[in-house]
Homo-oligomer: A and B are copies of this chain.
Amino acid sequence: MSLPDYGGQGWQDIVVTLDGPVAVVKLNRTKQRNTFTTQLQQDLVAAYGLFNLDDRVRAVVLTAEHTAPAFCSGADISSGWDGLWSKDDREQGQHTHRDIGGKATLAIFRCRKITIVAVNGHAVGVGVSALQLPCDFRFIWAGAKFALPFIRRGIAAEAASGYLLPRLLGYSRAVGILLSGSTYSPDSPLLQGLYHATFPNREDVFPAALAFAHELAANTSQTGVAWTKALLWRGADSIEGQHIIDSRGMIDLGTRGDAREGALAFKERRPVKFQDVLSKDLSDFVPWWTELDVQRRRTKL
């Protein structure tokens, strides 16, 4: 497969650029308050799918125009919810429906590279659940509004937010956020621990996130990152099981090029220059877990 040329992939609701080892995704519905659409979901799934496989990409930054009225003001429900159901959903039955927010969540969550979101505006609903929660790092503007108002709209925690939020922050805060459905500021005690960095000015969020991404891309091992993400999210359900898995990670990684380079650079007190890539240097012990197939299945002719 030839290397993707991100500028020319025919994206509609995002703009993608490759800035050295850092991929940048900018939401492209500024005038529509970056409301979430099926097209946006499809673009995100395609983009993060490519980042996941493209050895050139070591980190991804998702952001919006800092002058936009919102980072993402949720799904557009001005004409109701029916725009969310596909022809299949209606004809095949509810069991075939797959939430579009959740599809985006999964695409970001499954990306084996470092994922960062630079939230430089207000975010509501799926603008939090799908665009922020699955990222490794969240940078935010101090003036941004945050809300997951599902129960105030007649629906429930979507886009796997019922899975991610209690794990990210603990159940006390997650329940408080999701069962109030209220609007919070990034400095709310309820959101403590969610954001890696907060910035007083909207225009500073993305540049800081980009600089952070470049620092990580330059100094971290692609295989070490992928293993660490998997050990965190796909680890064993007992400490003994984790020890068996991470022992394998230790000796597999520890006998490859990046670990040799890491030790040598440390000894020589110089910057590292990691070269191992996922397409060639990832142990075939990975994945050790099984993943549920989330594809919809037709059950009628």
Residues of chain A having any CB pair with chain B under 8 Å: 77-78, 80-81, 84-85, 89, 94-95, 97-99, 101-103, 105-106, 109, 114, 136-138, 150-176, 178-181, 189-190, 192-194, 196, 216, 219-221, 223-225, 227-229, 231-233, 235-236, 238-244, 246-264, 266-267, 272, 274, 276, 285, 291-294
Contact pick for A162, options B102, B246, B252, B264, CB 8 Å: B246
Nearest chain B CB to A4's CB is how many angstroms away?
Answer: 24
Contacting residues, chain B, for A169 (C-beta < 8 A) = 170, 172, 193
Copies in the complex: 3
Contact pick for A154, options B98, B156, B196, B224, CB 8 Å: B224
Docked complex Cα distance between A81 and B196 (Å):
32
Q: Contacts A81-B259, A98-B247, A155-B262 hold; do A162 and B219 have CB atoms under 8 A apart?
A: no
Nearest B residue to A285 by beta-carbon distance?
Answer: B94
Docked complex Cα distance between A235 and B272 (Å):
42
Contact of B179 with A137 in the complex, beta carbons under 8 Å: yes
Contact pick for A253, options B154, B161, B176, B229, CB 8 Å: B154
Contact of A157 with B232 in the complex, beta carbons under 8 Å: yes
Contact of B163 with A242 in the complex, beta carbons under 8 Å: yes
Q: Contacts A167-B166, A192-B193 hold; do A150 and B254 have CB atoms under 8 A apart?
A: no
Q: Contacts A81-B259, A243-B294, A266-B77 hold; do A158 and B250 have CB atoms under 8 A apart?
A: yes
Nearest B residue to A229 by beta-carbon distance?
Answer: B179
Nearest B residue to A166 by beta-carbon distance?
Answer: B232
